[in-house]
Chains A and B, each alone.
Chain A
């Protein structure tokens, strides 16, 4: 048998290797090395941290390829990068460059409001954001190998991520009950509601979870935030602005990694929380004060 690359097993399997880990947003080699030393499982390369994207306004695009390449040459952990929603050619370029995974992200300005990238056409695994089960399943049906909550990026406010994760969980419980009861008509109704295939709804009900890993993202800023998200059943954590927009990035990165691995051990989460200084946390933004809600981008597609 010839070796097969880019299979479902290889793409979803790569994402499974990130489980119980922390993936950190970085904008430079220096930040990537800090992340690696602190115990990140992977880094996400982008041009600006989400907090700065909000401040800068304008169009946010994929990061410069030279920066991504430089990061790839300097850390041994996987390097992911973001592309715009629906921007097939930013994704092609990133795949060509050899990044380990692509985040088709609402943090960047969407290139296509109607359609996301058809990710089955790629050998590189994709991660997509979702606010509810229907959105998650539509992304999986397009070929996403990992789902993350959208949360509200760049705010330092974990509330939206909590809301999205709880919603996905309660919807999965609903699907599970319907599948267990073998209520075929209701499964069809759910498939129509979510705008995905009957088979995918059935699979979720049978598994009692998404068929790909499900991470938390958007607004996570402290070790306790990470532990909270893990306690809600997330498989791992993305931290964006929370680390490099704080004044104690190295300590904070280490502390968040520790709290993610030991989330159900309050003694160690407390130790992790003690490693950081709340006065050094990013200030954060209340979601109701926001002019731009990144989570709404691509949600209807």
Chain B
């Protein structure tokens, strides 16, 4: 089988953590491939899949606009595999609001048909880890939520992968996957294996 090229968007946030766990995921899935940090459009265009890390969505979003990567995602809408975690989910979404400040008017790709609420659980003092049930990866999973967003509503094309107390925290729509939590902060690579095997390779 050919080698899979995965990129981790390298503007801001938990970049190295995603690189590490993606490499582990490739290894554990028995696949050959390479994982690199990418920041230029040319680097993104040759990838089989892109991971957008957690961080500050306002910062990551404006760098994506600046470099043309946001437009690339808009053009390839749903056909190019992308996985966004937390801030990465926000910058993919159709609509964003902040729990306290309301509409944020921040730039997003708008290719994931969901509306999200930023900082939905509150500030850092309300950040938490908890057990989640994610049938797509075989059941129980430890989710780490840091000033996490939540998905308020989803379009008809969107499949819900996980809920926490009824609220949506992970979704998939065609080749786009997004989680409100941070798999890169755990040592469990199953979410990344799912992205590589079911979304990139399928």
CB 8 Å contact bits of A49-90 with B (1 = contact, 0 = none):
000000000000000000000001111111000000000000
For the complex, would chain A's binding face be called helix, strand, loop or mixed by DSSP majority? loop
User: Taking A9-B129, A13-B144, A21-B55 as contacts, is the C-beta distance between A76 and B124 under 8 angstroms?
Assistant: no
Q: Is B39 an interface residue (CB 8 A)?
A: yes
Interface pair B13/A77, CB less than 8 Å apart: no
- By beta carbon, the residue of chain A nearest B118 is A76
Interface pair B98/A76, CB less than 8 Å apart: yes
Interface pair A19/B15, CB less than 8 Å apart: yes
The number of chain B residues touching the other chain, given as a range, is 35 or more
User: Taking A41-B59, A73-B100, A76-B119 as contacts, is the C-beta distance between A261 and B12 under 8 angstroms?
Assistant: yes
Q: Is B46 an interface residue (CB 8 A)?
A: no
CB 8 Å contact bits of A1-30 with B (1 = contact, 0 = none):
111111101100110111111000000000
**What number of A residues sit within 8 Å (CB to CB) of B?**
41
In the complex, which residues of chain A have a beta carbon less than 8 angstroms from the beta carbon of B190? none
User: Taking A7-B129, A10-B127, A76-B118 as contacts, is the C-beta distance between A21 and B63 under 8 angstroms?
Assistant: no
Interface pair A1/B13, CB less than 8 Å apart: no
- What is the CB-to-nearest-CB distance from A135 to chain B, in angstroms, rounded to a whole number? 24
In the complex, which residues of chain B have a beta carbon less than 8 angstroms from the beta carbon of A77? 56, 58
Q: Is A95 an interface residue (CB 8 A)?
A: yes
In the complex, which residues of chain B have a beta carbon less than 8 angstroms from the beta carbon of A261? 10-12, 39, 59, 63
State A76–B90 Cα separation when bound (angstroms).
13
State A18–B147 Cα separation when bound (angstroms).
12
Interface pair B55/A19, CB less than 8 Å apart: yes
Q: Which residue in B13, B62, B119 is a CB contact (below 8 Å) of A20?
A: B13
Interface pair A2/B144, CB less than 8 Å apart: no
- By beta carbon, the residue of chain B nearest A16 is B14
Q: Is B95 an interface residue (CB 8 A)?
A: no
Interface pair B129/A21, CB less than 8 Å apart: no
Interface pair B12/A21, CB less than 8 Å apart: yes
State A20–B54 Cα separation when bound (angstroms).
12
State A9–B185 Cα separation when bound (angstroms).
7
- What is the CB-to-nearest-CB distance from B166 to chain A, in angstroms, rounded to a whole number? 14
- What is the CB-to-nearest-CB distance from A231 to chain B, in angstroms, rounded to a whole number? 15
Interface pair A78/B55, CB less than 8 Å apart: no
State A17–B17 Cα separation when bound (angstroms).
10
- What is the CB-to-nearest-CB distance from B143 to chain A, in angstroms, rounded to a whole number? 9
Q: Which residue in A5, A9, A42 is a CB contact (below 8 Å) of B126?
A: A5
- By beta carbon, the residue of chain B nearest A21 is B12
Q: Is B23 an interface residue (CB 8 A)?
A: no
State A173–B125 Cα separation when bound (angstroms).
35
Q: Is A229 an interface residue (CB 8 A)?
A: no
User: Taking A13-B146, A98-B123 as contacts, is the C-beta distance between A41 and B39 under 8 angstroms?
Assistant: no
- What is the CB-to-nearest-CB distance from B44 to chain A, in angstroms, rounded to a whole number? 15
Q: Is B104 an interface residue (CB 8 A)?
A: yes
CB<8 Å pairs between A and B, sample of 13:
A3-B128, A4-B130, A6-B125, A14-B124, A17-B54, A20-B55, A21-B59, A41-B12, A72-B123, A76-B100, A100-B147, A124-B125, A261-B39
Residues of A within 8 A of B (CB): 1-7, 9-10, 13-14, 16-21, 36, 39-42, 72-78, 95, 98-101, 123-125, 257, 261-262, 265
